[in-house]
Amino acid sequence: MKDHANRLPRIGGRLVALAFLLTLTLGTAAEAPPHQTAAPSSGDATAVATAIPATANAGIVETSITPAPPPAPPLPGEFDVEMFEAMAQMIVADQRVPGLAMAIVHDGKVLSARGYGITDVSDAEPVDGHTVFRLASLSKGFAGTLAGLLVNDGTLRWDSRLTDYMPGFQLSQPGAAQKITVADLLSHRVGLPHNAYDRSLERYVDYRTLTHKLADVPLKCAPGTCYAYQNVAFSLIGDIVFAATGDFYSQEVRSRLFKPLGMNDASLGLEGIESSARWAKPHVRGRGGWVSLMPKPTYYEVAPAAGVNASASDMAQWLIAQTGHRPEVIPAPLLATLHQPLVDTPYQTRSSSWRRARLDSAGYALGWRVYDYSGHRLVYHAGAVQGYRGMIAMLPERDLGIAVMWNGESSLPSGLLPTMIDRAIGIPSELTAWVDIDFDRPDAYYADVNQDAEQDPAAGSNAASATAAPQ
């Protein structure tokens, strides 16, 4: 049921003003992302910073940080972490998916960071809180955040032009490439048709070749004026990072995000996941059940779009930072900018049952989706590559963050996230049916809870007793 009384305003003029004010970072003279188009506004982010124009034309601003907001209210009693953990355990029972990892944080504290099920049906080991999963497009939030840190340093501007760093880059219309900004890349406003050259990437055409071939693609619109999701074009931000810093994108992510945030299991690329102490193999359906594979290397070619690997423990730290509790690493004004939608994505309100029921509007920010979830602002992203799926979300007004990753091509676990969001905002459980689990078996629920209570918090619940599926 949608709460239209609390629906977020979608007034274009107000949005442009808000986005301009929010495109601020500590100690910088960064300009607002240009070419903004209508998107949902974010009522709880507007007090993060104030701006006074330095000149009428330059767009240079000075920032003044307002006091931090009061602590978020406690989560409702129906937000039962043990119940969510039991639901995750039931999802991996009988290997409906091979393995799953989940992180839940609130008010800067880890409520849960655990694993469930097994890493590989052909060589079963339990998934725990340090088992690494491939994040796929959840990686885009790291790209946006890293770019923001460089804006914060004064190394980049949101309106820096791509061709200032890649002068040879071309699009099919003369002069179009020269209009693309950093903000356009990170918000999928390049002007290309959606998912340009993803199929070629899947066929092992290398990234550099595909960036040159973008010059052959007829444009959908002028850069900065419409939305179309990209992986190849989005990853041009990695080339900008290298040109601006002299360091490879992967090095910058490790030194500026993974290391200071204590994401000790996190890595980038195929070599990164394969060198992890414990990692979850991807799985696809076979005639006899799940079949494990080696990770497909193709989307690792586009590291900013899909290159990160991480564990539940890592994602808990990432969520704590993205909810504003690590300001020494990611300043709060920067988070407000990263999470401010720049372009409307209305199709997202129709793309699944929970979205159709709960979303009143949807937009894309800088590496993040932003939803109006029954009157509540939700910062979100999902990801999928062969054998892996994942979801991440933050509910700012509740200071809540959730991440779920799994290693099988199934949609079943995706219902966990809206179930938890519903509980967090007080939607009664009888109105929720997002997870197809028979949860009327109290013996199964309480047995799992009692057994889990004696395990290490990072261990996989009941994972040691899991067996491999038939081949």
Which of 449, 457, 404, 313 has the alpha carbon at shortest distance from 100? 404
Give residue 72's pLDDT.
74
Number of Cβ within 10 Å of residue 442's Cβ equals 8
For β-strands 109-117 and 99-106, DSSP reports them as antiparallel
Q: Do the beta carbons of residue 54 and residue 61 sit within 8 Å?
A: yes
How many Cβ atoms are within 10 Å of 332's Cβ, its own excluded? 20
| Eight-state DSSP code of residue 55 | S
Quick one: pLDDT at residue 138?
Answer: 98
CB-based burial of residue 203 (10 Å sphere; 0-12 exposed, 13-18 middle, 19+ buried)?
Answer: exposed
Residue 113's domain is classified under what CATH number?
3.40.710.10
For the chain, the domain total comes to 1
Q: What is the pLDDT of residues 187-212, one digit of tens each?
A: 999 999 999 999 999 999 999 999 99
Torsion of CA 142, 161, 187, 135, to 10 degrees: -30
Within a domain: residue 287? no
Could you report how far apart the first and last alpha carbons of the chain are, in Å? 43
Judge whether residue 39 has pLDDT over 60.
no
Residue 437's pLDDT is 66
**Residue 430 included in any domain:** yes
pLDDT tens digits for 164-176? 999 999 999 999 9
Residue 257 in this model has a pLDDT that exceeds 50? yes
Tokens of 109: 């504290």
- At 293, the amino acid letter reads L
- Alpha helices for 246-339 (secondary structure H): 249-253, 259-261, 269-274, 303-306, 312-322, 332-338
Angle, CA of 32, 192 and 17, to the nearest 5°? 20
- Let me know if residue 446 belongs to a domain: yes
pLDDT per position as a tens digit, 320-347: 999 999 999 999 999 999 999 999 999 9
Q: Which domain holds residue 105?
A: 81-134+308-465
- CB neighbour burial string for 267-294, b if at least 16 within 10 angstroms, e if fewer: bbbbebbeebeebbbbbeeeeeebbbee
In a domain, 410, yes or no: yes
Query: How does residue 382 score in pLDDT terms, banded at 50, 70 and 90?
Result: very high
Query: Is residue 121 situated within a structural domain?
Result: yes
Q: Is the pLDDT of residue 133 over 70?
A: yes
What pLDDT does residue 71 have? 74
Residues 427 and 54: their CA atoms lie apart, in Å, by 46
328 found inside a domain: yes
Q: Identify which of 182, 176, 172, 175 has the alpha carbon closest to the alpha carbon of residue 143.
A: 182
Q: How far is Cα 312 from Cα 202, in angstroms, rounded to an integer?
A: 27
Q: Tell whether 116 is covered by a domain.
A: yes
Q: Kindly report the CA angle at 156 between 14 and 26, in degrees rounded to 5? A: 65
Q: What is the H or E stretch that residue 373 is in?
A: strand 369-373
Q: Is residue 24 part of a domain?
A: no
Query: Quick one: pLDDT band at residue 28, thresholds 50, 70, 90?
Result: very low
Which pTM does this prediction carry?
0.82
Q: What angle do CA 228, 356, 406 make, to 5 degrees?
A: 75
